[in-house]
Amino acid sequence: MTAKHSRPTSPHLQVYKLPLTGIISISHRITGVLLSAGLLLVVMLFYALSQGEGTYAAMQSTVNFWLVKLIYWGFIYALFFHLCHGVRHLFWDVGDGFEPDKLNKYAKIELAAAFTLTLATWIFI
Amino acid sequence: MINKLAIFGNGATKSATWHWLMQRITAVILIPLSFQLIVFLNLCMTAPFQQTVAWLKSPLNTICIEVWLLAVFYHSAIGLQVVIEDYVANQELQVKLIKVINLSFLFLAVAALFFIFRIM
């Protein structure tokens, strides 16, 4: 028992402060799952379109509620974040960018790129 | 030759490699198509019915959105499978959940395509 107590324990997620790269890694998963749930909403969108003008108008008045709009832009940011980190996964797949300083640098670039793309979407589209 | 064909079968390791590869291929396909999707979503949020339908009816847009649908549902199903495999310890439940996800995503993809054909 005493020997067991003196052994180092693995970093439990509740007490272990994740580095930026760790936060981004789990965020990639979380956004992936959330975006999958968002697919349901996209299918509903196609349903509304197929039902004609009345259903489409009803759908539009719902999505123009501020809370729904906020969720919509949350989804857009999640999509861009998932896309940017996904691109980095593709770089990792070819064996590039594993050095610690590069990992942290690219983590910040990803977050900024996702934010910039969301902002650009908001301004230009 | 048999080994190469086996990736289409049920061999656990072979299908894992296949999934890994397809996850990457669909990811690359989805990068440009995501921008097309956002244009479409924005139209749905703001544009009048006729304009959105006209945009969707343009052949290039139809193809882009349909390919996006197929790629995204496949990409999503493979991704969720990995998440389920990592966090659901109960083997039986794990297999069942993956089957449920796969079947419902197949259903959703077919439904979405069906709705688009009705718009055309």
- ipTM of model: 0.86
Structural domains in chain B?
A: 4-119 (1.20.1300.10)
Q: Which of B28, B30, B118 faces A50 most closely, judged by CB atoms?
A: B118
Residues of chain A positioned with their CB less than 8 A from the CB of B115: 43, 46-47, 49-50
**DSSP per-residue codes, A37-97:** HHHHHHHHHHHHHHT-HHHHHHHHHHHTSHHHHHHHHHHHHHHHHHHHHHHHHHHHHTT--
Q: Tell me the per-residue pLDDT of A16-44, one tens digit each, with 9 for 90 and over.
A: 788 899 999 999 999 999 999 999 999 99
Q: Tell me the per-residue pLDDT of A57-107, one tens digit each, with 9 for 90 and over.
A: 999 999 999 999 999 999 999 999 999 999 999 999 998 888 888 899 999
Q: What pTM did the predictor assign? A: 0.87
B97 touches chain A (CB under 8 A): no
| Residue A97 region by backbone torsions, left for phi larger than 0, else alpha for psi between -120 and 50, else beta | left
Q: Which of A36, A46, A64 faces B115 most closely, judged by CB atoms?
A: A46
Verify whether the Cβ–Cβ distance B38 to A47 is below 8 Å.
Answer: no
Give residue for tokens 């343009």.
B58
